[in-house]
Amino acid sequence: MSTSRRAAIISTLRHNVGDDFVREGIVGLLQETLARKWPGKALEVDVIHKHSPVTTVYGLERIRSTRLSRLVEPVARTLRMPDRIGRADLLIQSGAPIYWCHENGSRCERNEWFDPLVRRRFLTDRRGRKLFNLAGGSCQRYHSDASEMARFPDTLAYMAELFDACDLTTLRDPHAKRMLQAAGRDAEVLPCSSIYARDQLCIKPETGEYIVLNFMEYGGHFTFGQTIDKKRWRDNFRRIHALTSRMGRVVAACHSPAERDLVREVVPDIEAFIVPDDHVEFMRFYAKARFGIVNRVHAGFMLASFGKPVAVIGTDTRALMIANLGLPSYFVEDVTDPEPIVEQTAAREADYREEIEHIRTRTRARYIQLLAEAL
């Protein structure tokens, strides 16, 4: 009998530290589940860069182009080149938005990974192996009620296909649940697994040294056609910076050089932290924070995991996932006066650590229960 289980994880590599946070948390939860269910059985992990599905093939990991992957991956599959999915006991879709549909043609059924990795590689050679879709989320307009789903039958069909292929699905925001229900399916909403990344890497909370801000143009990755006043958000961010600067040292967390340049265009003298694509250093940075006001939801989740209260100001339903941690989110265009947001977040600095530990303990038990049952 094998002394290990091999998991192939559909995620990203050196691309988005938020994806790294989610994946680290999933790996930790799986390891703990295996240790309880099958003592002595180790977990071996392979990561597939979903934007270039050909990275599932051993020896082709350096191909990062989606376009080139579309050309090479079918050839590698036809030639039966050894790949990570073929050797895995378990395939996991890790975090990220999995449900979205927009009038501009951006829809989740058109993603680059499901057809080559799941439909054509895994499902045609299942052999009783498990497929998990963990901590998946939505990415719709912030105030969406999911009624728009009725206009996207192909999206609903894909969502049902993905759900039916999985042995376990967990969601990370309530809107993802509403979207899935529109497809005639249902799954449990749990806080994103990224809150356990700190445990997996043995990084502990430290005494707060600075307040963390994060700035994105318009308040998020996309506007999705929503009316958002760019100038007003810039003015509001300057106000947030002025308010927090009265409370102590302020540092902007920048996930890319472009983000650093942008925030300094808005507040020229702001201190910035940036270590591109190094999620461990970002975690150590967040561990030393006091509290945060951010646009990036995974900056918020990592801060919260260390007991640092945070408010997320965003543009789409990804921001809603912070509610699972007892913390608020706001649609950027709804923010008329940022002062109450800053004051209310700062007021929780002393007691939020105890609150998040209750959430982490309760959620860990549920994740492990679901994983153990599905395995």
What class does CATH assign to 4-189? alpha beta
Element (H, E) at 291: strand 289-294
Buried (b) or exposed (e) across 142-161, using 16+ Cβ within 10 A? bebebebbeebeebbebbeb
Residue 211: strand pairing partners:
250
Domain 204-357 belongs to what architecture?
3-Layer(aba) Sandwich (3.40)
C-beta of residue 41 within 8 angstroms of C-beta of residue 5: yes
C-beta of residue 205 within 8 angstroms of C-beta of residue 353: yes
Domains 4-189 and 204-357 share a fold: yes
pLDDT of 245: 98
pLDDT of 39: 87
SS3 content of the chain, % helix, strand, coil (to 5): 50, 20, 35
Tokens at 176, concatenated: 């993802």
Closest CA to 54 of 24, 17, 10, 23: 10
- Counting every residue written for the chain, the total comes to 375
DSSP states of 251-285: EEE-SSHHHHHHHHHHSTT-EEE--TT-HHHHHHH
Alpha-carbon distance 36 to 51, whole Å? 34
**What's the one-letter identity of residue 70?**
R
Local confidence pLDDT in tens for the 375 residues of the chain: 467 889 999 999 888 899 999 999 999 999 999 998 888 888 999 999 999 999 999 999 999 999 999 999 999 999 999 999 999 999 999 999 999 999 888 999 999 999 999 999 999 999 999 999 999 999 999 999 999 999 999 999 999 999 999 999 999 999 999 999 999 999 999 999 999 999 999 999 999 999 999 999 999 999 999 999 999 999 999 999 999 999 999 999 998 899 999 999 999 999 999 998 899 999 999 999 999 999 999 999 999 999 999 999 999 999 999 999 999 999 999 999 999 999 999 999 999 999 999 999 999 999 999 999 999
Question: Hey, where are the domains in the chain?
Answer: 4-189, 204-357
C-beta of residue 240 within 8 angstroms of C-beta of residue 213: yes
Alpha-carbon distance 194 to 214, whole Å? 18
DSSP states of 316-375: BGGGGGGGGGT--EEEGGG-S--HHHHHHHHTTTTTHHHHHHHHHHHHHHHHHHHHHHH-
Cβ contacts of residue 369 below 8 Å, gap of 6+? none
* Torsion region of 199: left, alpha or beta (phi above 0 gives left; psi -120 to 50 gives alpha): alpha
Residue with tokens 């005639």: 184
Q: Look at residue 168 and give its three-state secondary structure.
A: strand
Q: What is the pTM of this model?
A: 0.94
Say how many CA atoms lie within 13 Å of 88 toward its Cβ. Answer: 28
Element (H, E) at 43: strand 42-49
pLDDT of 2: 66
